[in-house]
Amino acid sequence: FFGAGCELGPIFESKLFVVEEYCRNLGRKSSLILFSMFRQFALNLRKPSKNPSELVGEAFNEEQVLSELEGSAHYQTLRDSSSLRMQLAFVFWNEADMIDLLKILETYDLQDQFIVRLHNRLAFTGLAAFAMCHKKGCASFKAL
């Protein structure tokens, strides 16, 4: 829905909140985490913050959520949050975060059953890798 050109704002964020409530009521924890992450992503794009490439705020706290997960749930949530953070780091040009996130995302396979999620991850990983490969210690990102 972000790539579809939906206007960011309180109406869009309230729709995400409604979906979060559905997920909460149906006991769909993984979906709840994902939609909370999306809402925080939208908030970071729209509202000023100290570090807009961190997923920490009124809708989602990446560090807290990841600390409560284990196994594949942790692995997949880290992939998804790192992909969204990579987009934010690129948009707000946070080079340190781009480098850190490239190191995380390079450990994941270049395939995914959800093509939209894969496209966003690969597009912004590629953009960041191209932008950062000239930095000292980052030449390996050329291979991404």
111's tokens: 């395939």
- Residue 82 in contact with residue 41, Cβ under 8 Å? no
60-88 residue pLDDT tens: 999 999 999 999 999 999 999 999 999 99
Q: What is the mean pLDDT of the chain?
A: 87
Task: Give the pLDDT score at 95.
Answer: 93
pLDDT exceeds 90 at position 112:
no
| Rounded Cα–Cα distance for residues 68 and 113 (Å) | 25
SS3 24: helix
